[in-house]
Amino acid sequence: MIAVRAARSNGSRPGRAQWLALAAVAGFSIVADQLTKQLIAGQLAAGTTVDAFGPLWFSHTDNTGFALGLLEDRRWLLPIATVLVVAATLAYFARIRRSSAAVSLSLGLIVGGSSANLIDRVFVGHVTDFVGIHLSPVFNLADVFIALGIAILIGREFFLRPPRLFGR
């Protein structure tokens, strides 16, 4: 048991602190998303759109599909795909070497955002989207968390890591 703890503490695999960070970010993401959806549902009737400022507007939309309403006729597929994405993300995190705060943050955002939308799909039957920016589809905070998590991973991979030569 001591050898396992020593191996984890030297950065070979994510340790307890990295897992707790991922869980905290995911938990925060879920709570924040659910609260904003409840706030919108309490303030705007479904189908209502309100201009906020500049290119930003709010529109209470019940989305039974994926982005842009895709896969509305295959509602059973989205929860299954989401569970697979969350499981794959957690499996990836468990296997990576030398985890960092950026990785815990980014994967926590992806897991939290995905889980928040999964909760809606399973328990409500649809996802509540409510934010729009000029020429964009309507989205929610969970979608922002997922996109931000992906952006952090891409940024870390391409801009913050030293270049690898010939696969080394």
Catalytically active residues are 129, 143
d(C-alpha 60, C-alpha 82), whole Å: 23
Helices marked H in 10-76: 16-43
Q: Cα-flanking dihedrals φ and ψ of residue 103, to 5°? A: -70, -45
131 CB burial (10 A radius; 0-12, 13-18, 19+): buried
CA distances from 16 to 22, 47, 102, 106, 110 (A): 10, 44, 16, 17, 19
Spatial neighbors of 110 by CB under 8 A, at least 6 apart, are 85, 89, 145, 146, 149, 150
